[in-house]
Structure 1
Amino acid sequence: MPPRGTSPALCRMDEASPDGLLFRDHDFSSDLLRQLNGLRQNGILTDVTLCVEAWEVPCHRNVLASSSPYFKAMFCSSFRESAEAKVQLRGIGCTTLDQLVLYVYTGEVRIAVDNVLPLMEAASMLQYPKLFEACSSYLQSQLSPSNCLGMIRLSDILSCETLKRTAREVALTRFPEVAVSADLKELGALELQDYLGDDGLCGEEEKVFEAFMVWVRHDLQARRRHVQELFKLVRLPYVHPAFFHHFIANDALLQSSPSCQVILETARRHMFSLYGAPGVPDLQPPWHVPPRNSYQDFLILLGGRKDNQQTTRDVLLYNRQTGQWQSLAKLPARLYKASAVALHRSVYVLGGMAIGAETSVPSHHVYVFSLKLNQWRLGQPMLAARYSHRSTAHKNFIFSIGGIGARQEVMSSMERYDSICNVWESMASMPVGVLHPAVAVKDQRLYLFGGEDIMQNPVRLIQVYHVARNTWFKMETRMIKNVCAPAVVLGERIVIVGGYTRRILAYDPQSNKFVKCADMKDRRMHHGAAVMGKKLYVTGGRRLTTDCSIEDSASFDCYDPETDTWTSQGQLPHKLFDHACLALQCIPYTSTLR
């Protein structure tokens, strides 16, 4: 039996050996501290007094020396304090001293908004690293876009790398909110340069431009000389052309700088010239700078026939980083065989057969989707109602081609949408009206591969539209026999993906030659295809079985041109065909993508 008054837990033997038992009293150290604190509070055996001006706190030298390298050096070396009965501490308040001594004797201290900074400074000065890190952790828990820049400056003063690292992460990942804080205006030029040049900054380039202009104009006379170096950090290829046109191109401050004028003119030619822009050697690196790390590729599937039922309004998003699918805001209308394109971080859904309760009619409506807001809005309508048509985007334009019109005729007409001026205009008609061709744009030319005529016979043609000249020509070829197949630009080639066949053809516009790629697993049509990260992703569709029956598919496959191989990415949430499949590069917003 243990002695009376002794806890059985204290008699537990942690290690046994032939030489006996090793006893560990796990409460001994805390009991000892409690007894020492009682002695201190009653002034028993205290041999030194810590003073802050007239405030005095009696302590034990051996306890202080054991708790901190600072006090050990003070009391165990030849410093004069080692023999003095009273030691004056500077740079510490009396309340902070009380809290610090209580921590030394109990291992506890309450950290709050009103005492964290003086405690942290005292812990730094008197060398209590665990208390210092506890204060740092508390400050990290209080970080917000409105105070993170101030916290970074504080972390530099206190040499606290953990606080600095976390505060900087907040500043970068929540930059749009940080940009409107008062602290941003007080940054030095090099500090702002460091943020704007960081690949990890999570904010659209329009916000980067606005932040640097707000900073410059806060003290224009002193900061005007920094305009050129800061403007070069705005990644103009990722600025919306309409924003560039309305808010950047004619800015008086930028126009007053000759070097900024050169950048503006080069950007204007790149953005708005259908021919592209001649290279300017000094400006090539900034123009070809990659997107920031915060930009991600997302795959979006819109509409189509779901599980062989009626046309769906569903919109699905696939996050390549998480491998997860999620539902977004539904299409505003039920549209059969509409077309869709991605342009300037938005999705445009054009035309289609609008399916109503009583009747279904071809539509000329355009719906525009913002992933940032997870919202749809009505865009500028097309000139002609059409469905079963094809659409593609090039620079600031969307081309809507062919399809079936209001009188159920096969259309050869094409119209073009100018996203800067928000207008549609008629363009030259294609030589041969076809349905369901594969369409892609490469090197200022729009290519239509194959398709079918009004009798549903395959058309063995390549029809080519010169974008800048508004002219067409056609080429006959025996290689083409695709119907209801998508085309994508993959590297320097245009890839035609299936179309009642397993075959994948890569077309080189420079040599006008086809190269056969690895076949798909199934004969596939009415499927979707998009490029993300230099790989081709193919979604859903319909497959032709060995006995020539047709089955709907939920397959999700990836083609790697480097290895010329296919791999399965799993399954779509449901079977789907005749849907739009688009890749959209943007900055993820938690409210939309959680």
Structure 2
Amino acid sequence: MAGGAASVLRSNPEQHSNKSAAISKLLSSTYSRNAPNFVLASHSEALLHGLNALRCADKLFDVTLIVEGKTFKAHRVVLAACSDYFCAMFTDAMREARQSEIKLNGVNARGIELLIEYAYTSKLELDRNNVQDVLSVSTHVQMKAVIEACSNYLESQIDLENCVAIAVLADLYALDTLKRKTYRFICSRLDEFSLTADLLNLTWDQLEYILSCNYPVDCSEKRVLQIATQYCVETGLKAELAHLLFSHVRFNQIEASALKTLLSTLEDEDKENKTYVKLIRAEINKHEQNQIKMLGSESENEVISTDILTNSRGMELALVKIGGFETSGLTNQISCYLPSVGKWEGLTAIPHIEQCNYGTAVLGNDLYIVGGSYDVCLKEYIHPFGFRYCPTKDKWKNIAPIQADRCRFSLNAMGSNFLYAVGGVCELNDNDDGGDVENWGNDMAISNCERYNATTDRWEYLPALSENRSQHAGVVLANRLYISGGIDRHIVLVSLWCFDTHIEKWIKLRSMPTPRADHILIALDQHIYACGGWYEDPLTETRSLAQTIDVYDVNKDCWSTETTNPMPKYYTGVAAVKRRIYFIGGLLSSATINRATTAVQCYDLDTKQWSFNVEWEYPSEVWECTLAAFYVPRERDDFINVEVQT
């Protein structure tokens, strides 16, 4: 029967061909309906598992690697797929492509064993004992993923005990990201690091990099000079190399008396030839000559008060946009504009549920966010929590909650240790027995005030204002806190008060020319500038924008008009950098609609000119944000581009 069937097929080839064509046509018709391609997500995992199973069973090996006398069997295709080095070895016209045994020089057996294990399993267990072996071999055989894994592991292990060793590895294997992070770590703890034996274990190149890299440091420039001098003296550094180290010291940040004392001490230590004293004096003279040449032409970031920063190394004064509303809605994001970068970048985010109407202040160079409100199911909740952000360390820290839950209040920094919170809207806790609470009510403007001590992390009540108010403005000048405008029971206020911290009393001053709410006060050179805001038109009983910048002379107790804003807006962020006042975002008002804007305006108090620079524009529409100015690190790996939102 079988033979007969075969003979029938052989004798009817045309009939067989017709059947095949019919089946092919049927399949073509069936699968021409855009059926999805079959993709098995676990296929790559199964393939890797199968290759490892072959390895464990000693099957189909086609190459043996010999390293330090040890042999390692493998499959060429696996090695070539993971390593550019092995791919070139096995696919190019190299002698090793034809060899079954290959001796590898310049690598270690421990590292190659771990890399082969990784190639077949995708798993790599790194520790302090094997990471250098793995890094050495992975660099040699060009396994980029493993090199990155080693770099990330070393980054996670940086501490004072091993930072120099890690810096050496970063230099040796050209790991630029690891190098930057290691030296940033050393600089951020330079004072503590300088007390360890590793200071003298640094090579000259390493110390020269630390002094020239412009990363933020945790000590004064006087201490930086002492560290450089100590290194020179104790290592007996040659004069030409010492000269290069001293050239990186910023003598303009060291007081003359401190320099004199340091030089006197150094003369006692270096009595023979006074080489280092002469070098330092030469650098001081050169610096003084440069200062004379630059007089009157210094940039905004050249001079930084030591009251604000311990050291200006690596820091740049930035405009900082805090929270507010953007096209996508309420945001806790904080962005900064660095003049050296020329664009807005993401800095950090408030570590709390999305909120608004909080108090913001910059004390020293730390940003404080206190109180505020957030919505749950369209109901507003007011909270007392506070947060402190250190831009140098890029760290947030909780501070003691303010005693009265409040929002829409003023928060201002005074000196180097105090915050003042005034008024706002408060939700009274029935069990709260602190302060002047006689007239408090839920969601009502209040007059009470609190002071925060940054050293003790405690709030205390102060004498209350005689007027309740919220949505007002506050500013500090010398030892006085000034409060203006705001709202009380839907009435926009015109009054100006000051709190004298020496006598702890409120003093009423001359009222503003125009009532204002949701405005900002800026203090510069014994003058206070009232910017932005709105008032109620007495004729139409509608909101009107305050179009002028009014200026108060604290010595004469009088107001005058500084300028008229060519583009006034509701809810704009305002801050001053030197003698320039910046306005960001806000709502442009028309007869029918309020339209958000991305614009950043600038008013120069010296030239009396307004300017609108396209480069300053925020990437998305923004309103009800706070604008501040403080110093942030000029270089950070985790700066995030602020994307344009549509």
Within 5 Å, which residues of 2 pair with 1:8-87? none
Instruction: State the alpha-carbon separation in 1 of the partners of residues 451 and 519 from structure 2.
Output: 22
Q: CA deviation at 1:566?
A: 1.0
Cα separation, partners in 2 of 1:205 and 1:535, compared to 1, 3 Å: farther
The one-letter code sitting in structure 1 at the alignment partner of 2:362 is: A
Instruction: State the alpha-carbon separation in 1 of the partners of residues 329 and 414 from structure 2.
Output: 32
Structure 1, residues 67-112: CA drift from partner, whole Å, max 9, x if none?
Answer: xxxxxxxxxxxxxxxxxxxxxxxxxxxxxxxxxxxxxxxxxxxxxx
Q: CA deviation at 1:426?
A: 0.8
Corresponding residue number in structure 2 for 1:507 = 552
Corresponding residue number in structure 1 for 2:216 = 203
Matched, 1:339 2:384: no
Corresponding residue number in structure 2 for 1:411 = 446
Matched, 1:398 2:419: yes
Matched, 1:590 2:610: no
Is contact 1:339-1:580 (8 Å) kept? no
Corresponding residue number in structure 1 for 2:572 = 527
Instruction: State the alpha-carbon separation in 2 of the partners of residues 530 and 577 from structure 1.
Output: 14
Corresponding residue number in structure 1 for 2:336 = 317
The one-letter code sitting in structure 2 at the alignment partner of 1:203 is: P
Cα separation, partners in 2 of 1:468 and 1:568, compared to 1, 3 Å: same
Cα separation, partners in 2 of 1:207 and 1:495, compared to 1, 3 Å: same
Cα separation, partners in 2 of 1:513 and 1:293, compared to 1, 3 Å: farther
Structure 1, residues 427-469: CA drift from partner, whole Å, max 9, x if none?
Answer: 11112112222211112111112222212x2212111111222
Instruction: Report the 3-state secondary structure (helix = DSSP H, G, I; strand = E; otherwise coil) of the residue aligned with 1:364.
Output: coil
Corresponding residue number in structure 2 for 1:541 = 586
Question: 562, 585, 588: which is aligned to 2:606?
Answer: 562
Is contact 1:205-1:236 (8 Å) kept? no
How many equivalent residue pairs? 374
Q: Percent identity?
A: 17
Corresponding residue number in structure 2 for 1:420 = 455
Is contact 2:585-2:621 (8 Å) kept? yes
The one-letter code sitting in structure 2 at the alignment partner of 1:561 is: L
Instruction: Report the 3-state secondary structure (helix = DSSP H, G, I; strand = E; otherwise coil) of the residue aligned with 2:470.
Output: coil
The one-letter code sitting in structure 1 at the alignment partner of 2:528 is: I
Instruction: State the alpha-carbon separation in 2 of the partners of residues 337 and 361 from structure 1.
Output: 11
The one-letter code sitting in structure 2 at the alignment partner of 1:356 is: V
Q: Which runs of 5+ in 1 are unaligned?
A: 1-144, 151-169, 222-231, 238-252, 254-284
Cα separation, partners in 2 of 1:544 and 1:428, compared to 1, 3 Å: same
Is contact 1:296-1:588 (8 Å) kept? yes
Instruction: Report the 3-state secondary structure (helix = DSSP H, G, I; strand = E; otherwise coil) of the residue aligned with 1:329.
Output: strand
Q: Which runs of 5+ in 2 are unaligned?
A: 1-162, 169-181, 235-249, 256-264, 266-303, 428-441, 534-544, 641-646
Corresponding residue number in structure 1 for 2:282 = none
Cα separation, partners in 2 of 1:184 and 1:515, compared to 1, 3 Å: farther
Q: CA deviation at 1:207?
A: 6.1
Q: CA deviation at 1:215?
A: 8.0
Structure 1, residues 458-503: CA drift from partner, whole Å, max 9, x if none?
Answer: 2121111112221101134251322111111234322111212221
Is contact 2:216-2:392 (8 Å) kept? no
The one-letter code sitting in structure 2 at the alignment partner of 1:510 is: N
Corresponding residue number in structure 2 for 1:446 = 481
Structure 1, residues 28-56: CA drift from partner, whole Å, max 9, x if none?
Answer: xxxxxxxxxxxxxxxxxxxxxxxxxxxxx
The one-letter code sitting in structure 1 at the alignment partner of 2:492 is: P
Corresponding residue number in structure 2 for 1:577 = 623
Structure 1, residues 543-566: CA drift from partner, whole Å, max 9, x if none?
Answer: 323x36432222211111111111
Structure 1, residues 282-321: CA drift from partner, whole Å, max 9, x if none?
Answer: xxx99789964643111221221223x6422222121122
Structure 2 length-normalised TM: 0.50
Mean Cα deviation higher: 209-218 or 463-472: 209-218
Is contact 2:190-2:219 (8 Å) kept? no
The one-letter code sitting in structure 2 at the alignment partner of 1:516 is: T
Is contact 2:510-2:557 (8 Å) kept? no
Cα separation, partners in 2 of 1:516 and 1:292, compared to 1, 3 Å: same
Structure 1, residues 323-373: CA drift from partner, whole Å, max 9, x if none?
Answer: 211223322221121121112222111111133358531100002223234
Question: 367, 381, 393: which is aligned to 2:387?
Answer: 367
The one-letter code sitting in structure 1 at the alignment partner of 2:580 is: K
Q: CA deviation at 1:201?
A: 5.7
Matched, 1:481 2:515: yes
Instruction: State the alpha-carbon separation in 1 of the partners of residues 375 and 412 from structure 2.
Output: 24
Instruction: State the alpha-carbon separation in 1 of the partners of residues 461 and 519 from structure 2.
Output: 26
Corresponding residue number in structure 1 for 2:503 = 469
Question: 393, 403, 411: which is aligned to 1:383?
Answer: 403
Corresponding residue number in structure 2 for 1:492 = 526
Mean Cα deviation higher: 355-364 or 420-429: 355-364
Matched, 1:351 2:371: yes
Instruction: State the alpha-carbon separation in 1 of the partners of residues 347 and 307 from structure 2.
Output: 32
Instruction: State the alpha-carbon separation in 1 of the partners of residues 305 and 623 from structure 2.
Output: 41
Corresponding residue number in structure 1 for 2:466 = 431
Instruction: State the alpha-carbon separation in 2 of the partners of residues 361 and 476 from structure 1.
Output: 35
The one-letter code sitting in structure 2 at the alignment partner of 1:311 is: L
Is contact 2:190-2:217 (8 Å) kept? no
Cα separation, partners in 2 of 1:212 and 1:380, compared to 1, 3 Å: farther
Is contact 1:552-1:576 (8 Å) kept? yes
The one-letter code sitting in structure 2 at the alignment partner of 1:530 is: A
Cα separation, partners in 2 of 1:493 and 1:172, compared to 1, 3 Å: farther
Cα separation, partners in 2 of 1:376 and 1:213, compared to 1, 3 Å: same
Is contact 1:146-1:178 (8 Å) kept? no
Matched, 1:518 2:518: no
Is contact 1:518-1:565 (8 Å) kept? no
Within 5 Å, which residues of 2 pair with 1:143-222? 175-176=187-188, 180=193, 184-185=199-200, 202-204=215-217, 206=219, 208=221
Is contact 1:434-1:451 (8 Å) kept? yes
Structure 1, residues 393-450: CA drift from partner, whole Å, max 9, x if none?
Answer: 1111111111100111211011111111111111111121122222111121111122
Matched, 1:552 2:571: no
The one-letter code sitting in structure 2 at the alignment partner of 1:565 is: Q
Is contact 2:472-2:517 (8 Å) kept? yes
Instruction: State the alpha-carbon separation in 1 of the partners of residues 315 and 445 from structure 2.
Output: 40
Instruction: State the alpha-carbon separation in 2 of the partners of residues 288 and 341 from structure 1.
Output: 16
Within 5 Å, which residues of 2 pair with 1:227-242? none
The one-letter code sitting in structure 2 at the alignment partner of 1:482 is: R
Instruction: State the alpha-carbon separation in 1 of the partners of residues 465 and 423 from structure 2.
Output: 8
Instruction: Report the 3-state secondary structure (helix = DSSP H, G, I; strand = E; otherwise coil) of the residue aligned with 1:328.
Output: strand
Structure 1, residues 243-282: CA drift from partner, whole Å, max 9, x if none?
Answer: xxxxxxxxxx9xxxxxxxxxxxxxxxxxxxxxxxxxxxxx
Structure 1, residues 509-532: CA drift from partner, whole Å, max 9, x if none?
Answer: 112232322321223231111112
Cα separation, partners in 2 of 1:376 and 1:523, compared to 1, 3 Å: same
Is contact 2:450-2:459 (8 Å) kept? yes
Q: CA deviation at 1:584?
A: 1.0
Is contact 1:205-1:235 (8 Å) kept? no
Instruction: State the alpha-carbon separation in 1 of the partners of residues 463 and 496 from structure 2.
Output: 16
Cα separation, partners in 2 of 1:185 and 1:429, compared to 1, 3 Å: farther
Structure 1, residues 185-229: CA drift from partner, whole Å, max 9, x if none?
Answer: 599xxxx9x999x999643453657667778999999xxxxxxxx
Instruction: Report the 3-state secondary structure (helix = DSSP H, G, I; strand = E; otherwise coil) of the residue aligned with 2:546.
Output: coil
Cα separation, partners in 2 of 1:200 and 1:530, compared to 1, 3 Å: farther
